[in-house]
Amino acid sequence: MNDEPRWRDLDTRDGYDRWAPSYDDEGNPLLALEEPEADRALGDVTGLDVLDVGTGTGRHALRLAARGARVTAVDFSERMLAKARAKAGADRVRFENHDVTQGLPYEDASFDRVLSALVLEHVPDVAAFLRELRRVTRPGGRIVVTAMHPAMFLRGVSARFRDEATGEFLRPRSHVMQLSDYVMGALDAGLRIVSLVERSPDEALAARVPRAAKYVAWPMLLVMTLERA
């Protein structure tokens, strides 16, 4: 018998608005796998201007600010931003509401580091999105993009959650992609791929985050480090 719940798809912004109350507290294995990889790819950010594109509840933005970066963080979900603004240290981050698929409201070459964390599956035009990240990055700067690995789609998995208020199983709209779509999107955007990392949960992660157990050794995370070509 298939005990997989019945998932209902909905608009991406609405989905993340409804996900906001529980997003930080679900024991999500993808977040546990991703955060140290993003930190490693970004490197030392002390004194740098950093843009967090699709910041959500500010999990990266707040940590980067605490490490000495000047952080601007944007997202189109006001409820996710409200969670971010309510956290300790939020006064050190400039949080702004903006739909990151509609271009970015910043001058060319404004940032030393640009991070986009777990946003890419929600972007219909990958090359256009990455081209905009390139535009706002300074020459010699770095872009770090993390994404749910496309192999997860083969298991029927995309960003999803159980709504605390209604009990529904919901999926913010995602776009099924292949790894090649992300790689070619970066190249079409005029970016050079410095590194491409694929990560799977291991037994140690599963011991800490039980939801990781069924994905041990399965590709779950993709991290691209990019520079202007």
The 10s digit of each residue's pLDDT in 163-189 is 988 999 999 999 999 999 999 999 999
Give the per-residue pLDDT at 5.
81
The two structure tokens encoding residue 36:
């140290």
CA distance 81 to 96: 8
Which SS3 state, helix, strand or coil, does residue 183 take? helix
Q: What is the mean pLDDT of residues 117-142?
A: 97
Q: DSSP class of residue 198?
A: E
Q: How many domains does the chain have?
A: 1
Confirm whether 18 is domain-assigned.
yes
Q: What is the mean pLDDT of residues 130-139?
A: 98
Confirm whether 1 is domain-assigned.
no
Q: Taking 60 as the threshold, does the pLDDT of residue 1 lie above it?
A: no
Confirm whether 44 is domain-assigned.
yes
Each residue's pLDDT tens digit, 20-58:
999 999 899 999 999 999 999 999 999 999 999 999 999
Task: Write out the residue range of the structural domain in which residue 96 sits.
Answer: 7-228
Q: Taking 90 as the threshold, does the pLDDT of residue 15 lie above it?
A: yes
Confirm whether 205 is domain-assigned.
yes
Q: Do the beta carbons of residue 112 and residue 138 sit within 8 Å?
A: yes
Confirm whether 2 is domain-assigned.
no
The two structure tokens encoding residue 102:
């509609």
CA distance 59 to 28: 13
CA distance 129 to 121: 11
Question: At 149, which CATH number?
Answer: 3.40.50.150
Confirm whether 128 is domain-assigned.
yes
What is the CA 65 to chain-centroid distance, rounded?
17
The two structure tokens encoding residue 141:
């700067």
What is each CA distance from 212 to 28, 68, 123, 178, in whole angstroms? 8, 32, 25, 22
Confirm whether 210 is domain-assigned.
yes
CA angle (225 as vertex; 220, 229 as ends), nearest 5 = 140
What is each CA distance from 206 to 12, 28, 200, 215, 222, in whole angstroms? 28, 11, 11, 9, 18
Each residue's pLDDT tens digit, 61-110:
999 999 999 999 999 999 999 999 999 999 999 999 999 999 999 999 99
Confirm whether 137 is domain-assigned.
yes
